[in-house]
Structure 1
Amino acid sequence: MSEPADTQRCELCQVAIEARTGLPDVVQFSNGPTGSRSKLWSRVCQFVTDPDRQQLCINRDGGQSDLAQPGDAYPDAPTIELPKG
Structure 2
Amino acid sequence: MTTSSQSQNCPVCGVTIANNEVVQFANGSTGTRARLYARVCQYAKKPDCINQDKNLIGEVLKDDGFLEAPQINFDS
TM class by smaller structure: 0.7 to 0.9
> 1:42 matched to which residue of 2?
38
Map 1:14-25 to 2 at 5 A.
14-20=14-20, 25=21
Structure 2, unpaired ranges of 5+: none
Cα displacement (A) at 1:81: 3.3
Indicate which of 22, 25, 29 corresponds to 2:25: 29
The sequence identity of aligned pairs, in percent, is: 38
Cα displacement (A) at 1:46: 1.5
**Superposition CA RMSD, Å:** 2.6
Which of the two has higher C-alpha Rg? Answer: 1
Tell me the TM-score normalised to structure 1 length.
0.69
Higher strand share: 2
Equivalent position SS for 1:39: helix
Structure 1, unpaired ranges of 5+: none
Higher helix share: 2
